[in-house]
Chains A and B, each alone.
Chain A
Amino acid sequence: MWDYSAKVMDHFRHPRNVGEIDNPDAVGEIGNIVCGDALKLTLKIDRSTEKILDAKFQTFGCGSAIASSSALTEMIKGKTLDEASKITNKDIADYLDGLPEEKMHCSVMGMEALEAAINNYRGITTSSRQRPEGEKIICRCFGVTDRKIAQVIEMNNLTAVDQVTNYTKAGGGCGQCRPQIEAILAEILKKEREKKQSLLRKKMTNLERIRLIQETLEKEIRPYLQADGGDLELVDIDGHTVYIRLIGTCQSCPSMDFTIETFISQKLRQVLHEDIEAKKVEE
């Protein structure tokens, strides 16, 4: 049995805003009966302020799908379209005090229905036949596009293919598209890593920089030298030069210059992203 929060059960047992608005200003429909869940959202919108005056839903789906839809309608009423469009699936899940990970796709369905309704109001068609240029279906079983997969990965900081399946259903049918999902995920994770590293470089104080050099020597370099009966000490850091004293077998090692210049320098460059150079101190 799923471990649903009290709030999910409350919205499931007593769903808010069930039904269909007569002459709605916006309609968002997502999912279908084959997939196992579907949501139809209808909105009444004040044309001058673009404020959502009323929202109603109809949902075919499990307990968390009904609860997510109910939560969504409560969250968007009274908001302008711009404000509402900032709501993510995570906000819907948080509103319900969380959803089991396997059920996160219910919150994504809520977000998608809202997107569809806003697009509908603004005259943008998002039917599957008229997908934006460059967007393509990755999961044929559940009709999930690369754009949707990327969006959900970024919004929820996902790191594994199984998570993507839990959040979007993609890969949950025949499973043939899992390598493609893996590739999208790897691409995004790589970009995020690069972004983080560049941030790190910009913000690092001198003290942090020294600590990072020490840590790298400690964890990434010394164990290798020690394995061969050698070791090193950090003597000084001057600008881009790191001065090091070699100990034990390293002192008499014929490949010592190579050790310093390539191995240690490379390791430090990987972490610090600057043209750092390691130099040995002559005794």
Chain B
Amino acid sequence: MKTIYLDNNATTRIAPEVLDQMRPYLDELYGNPSSMHSFGGQVAKKIAQAREQVADLLGASSPAEIIFTSCGTESDNAAIFGAVRSYPEKRHIITSRVEHPAVLNTCRYLPKEGYRVTFLSVDHSGQLDLEELRAALTPDTAIVSIMYANNETGVIFPIDEIAAIVKEKGAIFHTDAVQAVGKIPLNLKESQIDMLSLSGHKLHAPKGVGALYLRQGTKFTPFLLGGHQEGGRRAGTENVASIIGLGAACELAARHIPEEQTGVRALRDKLEHSILAKVPNTRVNGDPIHRLPNTTNIGFEFVEGEAILLMLSDRGIAASSGSACTSGSLEPSHVLRAMEVPFTHAHGSIRFSLSRYTTEEEIDTVISELLPIIDRLRAISPFGPKSKTLAQNQKP
């Protein structure tokens, strides 16, 4: 059975062009880029090229602003710990309630080291109240870390505006842009973002590589100590092949961003509109306008997300859910709870996240497979409404 992969916010396939670029560096070109011989030196040149490719996608002023890391989580940790250690006199941090665990749990840890943390709330559409941010900022605020786009709902925050507000008060501004990079155009030259995290495997590069953008002139304290790599800002021998893969993936992504905005968005919209039109008692979770073009989070009332995922999986369809049962925790996703999505929709929420490899045929298959699944589970559910989906009604 062919897999229809609609879980691209979890991870993506490595683009074939990316894999081609990486292969020699996993094989015969195994030199250490720090070595003083040309065998290693040729590898250093490729890493320099990858740094430029990443800088270009982000619209950074200089490739020197890019630090390669092992993943998005490391980038987030390096940013937050780097900022608080660089400003030891400041003891306050601001973040949001809907961050990825990489930021959320780092911020939850810091009170143990004496920091005060403000968690900004979101409204029903998942948007921040910028007045709440303004009110929370104090001269004691070391860093504000707010994600660019939410992994579960795709909701995009007005990051340039937020950066301007934060910079006015003299704090460091970091954004976890793991879900945004490669999906929407960025131009860091024109923004006031100090630090930005990205992850390779979310944009068709391999797992185990990420990057931290660090604006020139920003005070920073390294998270990993050791060798002189990455300009002394991140020690450790480079993950050469993956860094080259990340560079190649960024160059590809830059070329495909217009397609994300048109082709991918059109397929996402088709999927979403069809489901909402054909399945009663459903809703879209999150701001429908300021949203990633590839993501839709749909709540199916009266049924539970894991059961939907298992049935989709039986039909070769991969998606994810914010339901409690999928995570092993007993409560639905912190993002949906922060948005006060009614429990009945939160437990039955499914996230579909597309990529440029998603085809219209796949979307049509998902639409036709999904409706009977929801009907079936609602027939089992004690809360099931009497009204069935269109698919059920049309049966002779």
User: Which A residues are closer than 8 A to B by beta carbons?
Assistant: 9, 12-13, 15, 18, 29, 33-34, 36-40, 58-63, 65-66, 102-103, 105, 141-142, 165, 169, 172-173
Would A172 and B329 count as touching, CB distance under 8 A? yes
Given contacts A142-B330, A172-B329, contact A37 B382 (CB under 8 A): no
CB-defined A-B contacts under 8 Å, sample of 22: A15-B380, A18-B380, A36-B304, A36-B325, A36-B332, A38-B382, A58-B380, A58-B384, A59-B380, A60-B303, A60-B304, A61-B304, A61-B307, A61-B325, A62-B306, A62-B325, A63-B310, A102-B328, A103-B325, A105-B330, A142-B330, A173-B330
Partner of B307, one of A34, A62, A102, A105: A62
Would A173 and B331 count as touching, CB distance under 8 A? yes
Q: How far is the CA of A58 from the CA of B383 in the complex (A)?
A: 9
Given contacts A34-B343, A172-B330, contact A62 B323 (CB under 8 A): yes
Partner of B347, one of A33, A58, A103, A173: A33
In the complex, which residues of chain B have a beta carbon less than 8 angstroms from the beta carbon of A62?
304-307, 323, 325-326
In the complex, which residues of chain B have a beta carbon less than 8 angstroms from the beta carbon of A15?
380
Would B383 and A38 count as touching, CB distance under 8 A? yes
Would A18 and B330 count as touching, CB distance under 8 A? no
B324 CB-CB contact with A under 8 Å: yes
Would A66 and B307 count as touching, CB distance under 8 A? yes
Q: How far is the CA of A128 from the CA of B331 in the complex (A)?
A: 21
Q: How far is the CA of A37 from the CA of B32 in the complex (A)?
A: 55
Q: How far is the CA of A256 from the CA of B153 in the complex (A)?
A: 74
Partner of A59, one of B306, B347, B382: B382
Would A36 and B324 count as touching, CB distance under 8 A? yes
Residue of B302, B344, B380 with most partner-chain A CB within 10 A: B380
Would A60 and B383 count as touching, CB distance under 8 A? yes
Across the interface, name the chain A residue whose C-beta is closest to B303: A60
Given contacts A34-B343, A36-B325, A36-B347, contact A60 B331 (CB under 8 A): no
Closest 5 CB pairs of A and B: A172-B330, A62-B325, A62-B306, A58-B382, A40-B382
In the complex, which residues of chain A have a beta carbon less than 8 angstroms from the beta carbon of B326?
62
In the complex, which residues of chain B have a beta carbon less than 8 angstroms from the beta carbon of A102?
328
Partner of A169, one of B330, B347, B383: B330
In the complex, which residues of chain B have a beta carbon less than 8 angstroms from the beta carbon of A103?
325
Would B304 and A65 count as touching, CB distance under 8 A? yes
In the complex, which residues of chain A have a beta carbon less than 8 angstroms from the beta carbon of B44?
none
B379 CB-CB contact with A under 8 Å: yes
Q: How far is the CA of A61 from the CA of B232 in the complex (A)?
A: 51
In the complex, which residues of chain B have a beta carbon less than 8 angstroms from the beta carbon of A60?
302-304, 380-383
Residue of B302, B307, B382 with most partner-chain A CB within 10 A: B382
Main secondary structure of the interface of A (DSSP, over half): mixed
Q: How far is the CA of A90 from the CA of B347 in the complex (A)?
A: 26
Across the interface, name the chain B residue whose C-beta is closest to A106: B325
Interface flags, B327-345, vs A, CB<8A=1, else 0: 0111110000000000110
Would B304 and A165 count as touching, CB distance under 8 A? no
In the complex, which residues of chain A have a beta carbon less than 8 angstroms from the beta carbon of B307?
12, 61-63, 65-66
In the complex, which residues of chain B have a beta carbon less than 8 angstroms from the beta carbon of A12?
307, 310
Within the complex, what minimum Cβ distance (angstroms) separates A164 from chain B? 12
Give residues of chain B (307-329) contacting chain A, Cβ–Cβ below 8 Å: 307, 310, 314, 323-326, 328-329
Interface flags, B283-314, vs A, CB<8A=1, else 0: 00000000000000000001111110010001
Within the complex, what minimum Cβ distance (angstroms) separates A150 from chain B? 20
Q: How far is the CA of A66 from the CA of B329 in the complex (A)?
A: 18
Given contacts A60-B302, A62-B307, contact A39 B343 (CB under 8 A): no
Residue of B314, B326, B383 with most partner-chain A CB within 10 A: B383
Within the complex, what minimum Cβ distance (angstroms) separates A217 from chain B? 46
Within the complex, what minimum Cβ distance (angstroms) separates A47 from chain B? 26
Q: How far is the CA of A103 from the CA of B331 in the complex (A)?
A: 13
Given contacts A59-B382, A60-B382, contact A33 B343 (CB under 8 A): yes
Interface flags, B198-231, vs A, CB<8A=1, else 0: 0000000000000000000000000000000000
In the complex, which residues of chain B have a beta carbon less than 8 angstroms from the beta carbon of A141?
331
In the complex, which residues of chain A have a beta carbon less than 8 angstroms from the beta carbon of B310?
9, 12, 63
Partner of B381, one of A13, A58, A165: A58
Would A36 and B323 count as touching, CB distance under 8 A? yes
Within the complex, what minimum Cβ distance (angstroms) separates B318 from chain A? 10
Across the interface, name the chain B residue whose C-beta is closest to A105: B330
Q: How far is the CA of A172 from the CA of B380 in the complex (A)?
A: 26
Would A13 and B314 count as touching, CB distance under 8 A? yes
Across the interface, name the chain B residue whose C-beta is closest to A31: B382
Within the complex, what minimum Cβ distance (angstroms) separates B337 from chain A? 11
Across the interface, name the chain B residue whose C-beta is closest to A172: B330
Residue of A15, A33, A172 with most partner-chain B CB within 10 A: A33
Would B331 and A59 count as touching, CB distance under 8 A? no
Q: How far is the CA of A169 from the CA of B324 in the complex (A)?
A: 11
Within the complex, what minimum Cβ distance (angstroms) separates B249 from chain A? 26
Across the interface, name the chain B residue whose C-beta is closest to A59: B380
Q: How far is the CA of A48 from the CA of B123 in the complex (A)?
A: 59
In the complex, which residues of chain B have a beta carbon less than 8 angstroms from the beta carbon of A169?
330
Residue of A12, A13, A103 with most partner-chain B CB within 10 A: A12
Within the complex, what minimum Cβ distance (angstroms) separates A18 from chain B? 5
Would A66 and B380 count as touching, CB distance under 8 A? yes
Q: How far is the CA of A34 from the CA of B380 in the complex (A)?
A: 17
